[in-house]
A and B are shown apart, each in its own frame.
Chain A
């Protein structure tokens, strides 16, 4: 915690209402970009404490929670991967990069399938809270180096470890060459992020499609999770007639990979894959298309114009006039 006063707004993006935006056209004229982001994580047995967040609810070692997470790396990941293979989805792995050192076998299986790796910090039990900016830059360097060394890939995406952030995080991610962040849930389309350098975009990830939120916070049954995935898809697919949308399904193999959960999930993604207008893709590919089709520039211009609207009329009525 710094001694600076708290802010009332993130200040990372400007408002742009959903109707009448510049049209996004995905490759092949697909209506919706669907990407699946498995969080392949390593939680430490005996992690150090952080004053802002204690890693485990019980004193170290919290063997029940630790072993529950470990289930994902012994058993769950295989079921999840098999379900994604059957539906023709590649993963965009939200990776605790230390997993490259601990479980290279899992990394290889993902790499062999052409999956993308993006960074989810070093361990899910190490947060960026209370780090200074140079310490946080060190984590970013570590992530780039580790993923390059083990997979040959250059990182494009970032999801902060356990969704912990500082106000400078987006600036230093962009400065390091990160192209998209998954930490903000304010839209169903990629959106420019206001950073000091570079063209960082906010990639639609999702809190409400995220299995950990669905199962553990919303207390939803596995079969109902399958239903809400399909409903989320149906709506975004329909709206994709007007302009390209993005749907992300964030996963955790220790949860969705449990025997009592995998089939309902598998059925839902096969349902999605059965639609012609679906672009089954990855975070990196969506970011690339967003730039190459001019969507980033068009959206930036629309945001600037909207927020520069006549003061007396107000931005909201300016938006309505375009109808």
Chain B
């Protein structure tokens, strides 16, 4: 047996990345980023607000958190929906008490299903970010450009109409994209995305329709990842988030501003036994001088305004 000759050919083996979306850049060699008022850390809280359809397809893959029991899966359908009915309001109250402004990455379909939820997010002064249409509509390269564009346009349209906001941020269900996704996002007026997990600062991505900013969002300290993939305790989540903050905060003294991202889920951190751990994390971060909290869109705008190189 042997493999076709092409298996030992490497057409993209050359300097830099093996695609044209962005250039390689060393985090520690960039011009220092200066946040408003000289802040050292921009605190970006991103709450996932998700709808998992009972009949969600399993092909080509399921987004994390997907229903996993035989149809009809009452168990996980309702457990995830708990976040939309109860959990999110606990998180909103906590953020309100702390005077924090967050981004809420919301599946577009939720705007039509649960308008009260959208109202509460908007009234709280938070940013609405589009989180695709629903958790069953994953983006992947098997979708035609036309079909993918329709999903993006529908999600953005629903959220823009319900919130009255411009909705320029995007998070794909499962952080999954196809080859065309960044081009289509830019075409539909999206200015920044949260899918790519390769940096602690924003950077510029090329699309056929102009620049798209990749905003940092931690992958492994996401509350769902720690709870549902690593099966670690809430205290372990708190410790890792604090440790993450400590290192970024320390680095900011020598290398300029950093983004501390805090991805959470309304159906995870919104649980009664978990929400006080979220408070502990927020209290810890806010006890430091030089922490600037803003929705991801404002952090992105500040980054662009400062004329930061990618």
Contact = CB atoms under 8 A, between A and B. Distances in A.
Interface stretch (A172-180, A255-263, A297-305): A255-263
B15 A102 contact: yes
Interface stretch (A18-26, A61-69, A280-288): A61-69
B60 interface: yes
Interface in A210-257: 215, 219, 221-223
A132 B2 contact: yes
A58 B8 CA distance: 22
A190 to B, nearest CB: 31
A101 B141 contact: no
B154 interface: no
Interface stretch (A70-78, A268-276, A312-320): A70-78
Interface string B47-73: 000000000000011000000000000
A182 interface: no
Contacts of B229: 219
A58 B1 contact: no
Contacts of A103: 16, 24
A104 interface: yes
Nearest to B232: A221
Given A259-B243, A260-B244, A74 B14 contact: no
The residue among A79, A104, A219, A260 with the most chain B CB atoms within 10 A of its own CB is A260
Contacts of A45: 12, 17-19
Given A63-B176, A64-B219, A98-B10, A70 B141 contact: no
B200 A259 contact: yes
Contacts of A138: 8
A10 interface: no
B28 interface: yes
A62 B65 CA distance: 18
B26 A64 contact: no
B206 interface: no
Interface string B73-115: 0000000000000000000000000000000000000000000
B239 interface: yes
Interface string B17-57: 11100001111100000000000000000000000000000
Given A48-B6, A223-B239, A71 B198 contact: yes
A48 B11 CA distance: 11
Nearest to A63: B177
Given A78-B28, A102-B14, A102-B16, A67 B179 contact: no
Given A44-B12, A59-B142, A262-B247, A73 B177 contact: no
A138 B247 CA distance: 43
A46 B18 contact: yes
Contacts of A262: 247
B175 A64 contact: yes
A156 interface: no
A131 B18 contact: no
B24 A102 contact: yes
Nearest to A44: B18
A260 B243 contact: yes
Interface string A47-91: 010100000011111111001101101110011000000000000
B26 A105 contact: yes
B276 interface: no
Binding site secondary structure of chain B: loop
B199 interface: yes
B168 interface: no
A104 B16 CA distance: 9
Contacts of B246: 259, 263
A78 B197 contact: no
B10 A64 contact: no
B140 interface: yes
B145 to A, nearest CB: 15
B297 interface: no
A49 B92 CA distance: 45
A8 interface: no
A59 B139 CA distance: 10
A2 interface: yes
Nearest to A81: B28
A1 B3 CA distance: 11
B176 A64 contact: yes
B175 A78 contact: no
B198 A259 contact: no
Give 10 closest A-B pairs by Cβ, nearest first. Answer: A260-B244, A132-B2, A259-B247, A67-B198, A70-B198, A75-B27, A67-B196, A64-B175, A219-B230, A260-B240
Interface of A: 1-2, 42, 44-46, 48, 50, 57-64, 67-68, 70-71, 73-75, 78-79, 98, 101-105, 122-123, 126, 130-132, 134-135, 138-139, 215, 219, 221-223, 258-264
16 contacts: A45-B19, A46-B19, A59-B178, A73-B24, A74-B198, A75-B198, A79-B247, A102-B16, A135-B7, A138-B8, A221-B230, A221-B236, A223-B239, A258-B244, A260-B221, A260-B240
